[in-house]
Amino acid sequence: MMLFRSVRNADLDSVFQLAEQSGIGMTTLPKNKELLKARIQWSTESYQKNEENPLDEYYLFVLEDQKTKKIVGTSAIEAKTGHNTPFYSYKISKRTRVCHSLNIRSEYEVLSLVNDNQGHAEICTLFLNPEYRRDNNGLLLSKARFLFMAQHPKRFAPIVIAEMRGISDENGQSPFWNNIGNHFFQMPFVEADRLTLATNKQFIADLMPRNPIYIKLLSPEAQAVIGKPHQSTVPAMSILLNEGFRFSNYVDIFDAGPTIESPLKEINTVKLSQVLTVRSISDEVSSTDYLLANTQMDFRATINFALINNEDNSCIVSKNTAELLEIKRGDTLRVSPLRLEEKPSI
């Protein structure tokens, strides 16, 4: 079985190993142990807070293989972006010009630097060891976050965004960056990406062009990647689109990866989840696979069978599930369908 749980300080080395595997463009999973240590500490402090008003909290999770005790994936939620540092995006806008005397109509798109997504919750830091991209592990790593948000909705802003990694190659060459950012920042894409996390982002305000950028004037290579996800990010984006996220005409300022969004309460896993009382714990349970999570701040989730009785809002789970989630008879469990065509009932 696989366990999705809150990160611990002792996970630093394992998370650092994942960061080194993640390639270029994973801004929130830096290949710097000190930065990762600070993010894990930030997460630990966020879990310990009692108030339920989102400020600058960050919740980092890991996926652990119970057979080997190996950390094989990470994902996270930022409660409210832009609290301490500005959150920049490019907004894609359409403009029209008409010359009646010549009977010419011109339509084109521009990129404008904005802070429109500031103040939203953000799901981020998703990376799964390639060897484990099977057996619903990607679904657990992505969707279990929504059970945590469903259990603690007041801790998060009401709109949730996800900045999907944009297109760059294994050498860190980004067509969009090479055509725009490189002219103004005079540094490689990889260095600009690193500074986004390591600084207060003032360099963006200082160096980024303030006037709109006309997309038609960019190279065909740069135009082609605007709003397109990195190949390795396509499966993660598909999961989110199936959850109800939609492209919002905003892209990342460095690699032009798409930003997608959804109201928290409209995310399908959140809408379909329900809190049930554990009526019984059995040696074996055979039924449909569900996303299952405890209802504690020491968050733990997995995928396994559960027998659900909607008449009395109760369920029966296996001993393995109970041990993994650290629950007992009479405790509560948050349950949601693993796949959205399924309904959490028997």
Q: Which of 83, 100, 152, 230 is catalytic?
A: 230
Give the Cα separation of 75 and 63 in Å (integer).
Answer: 8
Question: What is the C-alpha end-to-end distance of the chain, expressed in Å?
Answer: 23
Give the Cα separation of 131 and 194 in Å (integer).
Answer: 26
248: left (phi over 0), alpha (psi -120 to 50) or beta: alpha
Crossing angle of helices 137-151 and 234-242, rounded to 10°:
40
Of 30, 58, 61, the closest CA to residue 121 belongs to 58
Q: Would residue 83 show up in a list of annotated catalytic residues for this protein?
A: no
Count of CB atoms situated within 10 Å of the CB of 196: 19
Show Cβ contacts of residue 338 under 8 Å, excluding neighbours closer than 6 positions: 136, 139, 143, 288, 289, 290, 291, 303
Give the Cα separation of 329 and 157 in Å (integer).
Answer: 33
Any idea which residues carry the catalytic annotation?
Answer: 230
